[in-house]
Amino acid sequence: MRALVLKTINELEFVPDFPKPTLVKDEVLIKVKYCGICGSDLEAFQYGKVLMPLILGHEFSGEIVEIGPSVTEWQEGDRVTVYPGAFCGKCHFCERGEENLCKKILIGLGISINGAMAEYVKFPAKFLCKLPDSVSFEEGAIVEPLAVGYHGVKLSNIQPGDTAVVIGAGTIGISTIQALKLFNIEDIYVIEPVEFNHNIALQLGAKQTKSPIQLNKIGPDFVFVCAGFPETYNNAIKIVRNGGSIILLGVHFDPVAISFLQVISKEANLRGSFGYSFTEFKEVLLLLEQGKFQPELLISKKVKLENAVQEGFLELLSKEKRVVKILVEL
């Protein structure tokens, strides 16, 4: 099968004849239709920190073409997307519906096992979600990033009437803005230096502000950090109001120096947001079916697998990029 293989850092190669996956009893084989390029895929490409060689990709949709012998609830031809972390289902966190916090996750698609930037991918059947007829394969491939923003907003416990600042209008920032609108948050402000992304945020109803620290004369109630850079973390602490909340969605792999004195003196709430629960993943899929999101403002471009390095990965890493989400088409 055709596949995009990360052989080592900065060496991502199109392979025309990669071995097709072989199923075990509880797995299904999915013919991939679309796979999104995630920020974590870009990090893996640049810095490694995944098992290599490896097929990347965990944001995807496709069609079941083969079923393992113990799988009874799925049929060939079913249109699906997948919750990409194989949680244990038995630990303290899983029993609370916090599968994203499971400490016994056995499989991470595109992290510890081969992912979906290939013609075919296999995964345990119990983590599949069926795509409603009204949800396209393209939309099915963005359930995952939408769920990241949705989880962060739910976790924040933000309420109508609160003011929010979103730092970073990449895929996660745009997903967060859409989720904030779902929760009836009207005063949403965006900080984004790239004009293309900034304009997408404005189309979604976000507002501009030259001085977020002066919002409501006291600063924003909530700051959602959707870009993982040291300066964005520190900027969030600077602008949040006294007693306000900072939700960290953007990931930075190296340690960051921040002023905890500011956090303490402001009595600011600092909270991480990691992934999403299985229930939230399914909720986002239902909201997509109901037309509650605007996927066309998230999906900027589709590229063929053979061209995904130059027209996908390298474009996303370019300072001149004019895209939010790029989907790899198979």
Res 66: pLDDT: 98
CA-nearest of 138, 145, 129, 202 to 179 is: 145
Question: Are 24 and 87 in a shared domain?
Answer: yes
Question: Are 134 and 162 in a shared domain?
Answer: no
Residue 288 lies in a domain: no
Number of domains in the chain: 2
Question: Are 267 and 206 in a shared domain?
Answer: yes
Res 7: pLDDT: 96
Give the whole-angstrom CA distance, residue 43 versus residue 213.
Answer: 31
Residue 283 lies in a domain: no
Residue 78 lies in a domain: yes
Question: Are 192 and 267 in a shared domain?
Answer: yes
Res 106: pLDDT: 63
Question: Are 94 and 173 in a shared domain?
Answer: no
Question: Are 126 and 33 in a shared domain?
Answer: yes
Question: Are 93 and 160 in a shared domain?
Answer: no
> Looking at 257, 272, 287, which one is the last position of a domain?
272
Q: What is the pTM of this model?
A: 0.96
Residue 287 lies in a domain: no
Residue 89 lies in a domain: yes
What is the residue range of 182's domain?
Answer: 146-272
Residue 182 lies in a domain: yes
Residue 289 lies in a domain: no
> Looking at 226, 256, 272, which one is the last position of a domain?
272
Question: Are 161 and 237 in a shared domain?
Answer: yes
Neighbours of 277 (CB within 10 A): 22
Neighbours of 307 (CB within 10 A): 12
Question: Are 260 and 162 in a shared domain?
Answer: yes
Question: Are 196 and 123 in a shared domain?
Answer: no
The CATH number of the domain holding residue 306 is 3.90.180.10
pLDDT tens digit at each of 330 positions of the chain: 999 999 999 999 999 999 999 999 999 999 999 999 999 999 999 988 788 999 999 999 999 999 999 999 999 999 999 999 999 999 999 999 999 999 887 678 999 999 999 999 999 999 999 999 999 999 999 999 999 999 999 999 999 999 999 999 999 999 999 999 999 999 999 999 999 999 999 999 999 877 787 777 899 999 999 998 899 999 999 999 999 999 999 987 788 888 899 999 999 999 999 999 999 999 999 999 999 999 999 999 999 999 999 999 999 999 888 999 999 999
The CATH number of the domain holding residue 240 is 3.40.50.720
Question: Are 304 and 230 in a shared domain?
Answer: no
Question: Are 13 and 134 in a shared domain?
Answer: yes
- 22: tokens are 């072989």
The number of C-alpha atoms within 13 Å of 120 and in the hemisphere containing its C-beta is 17
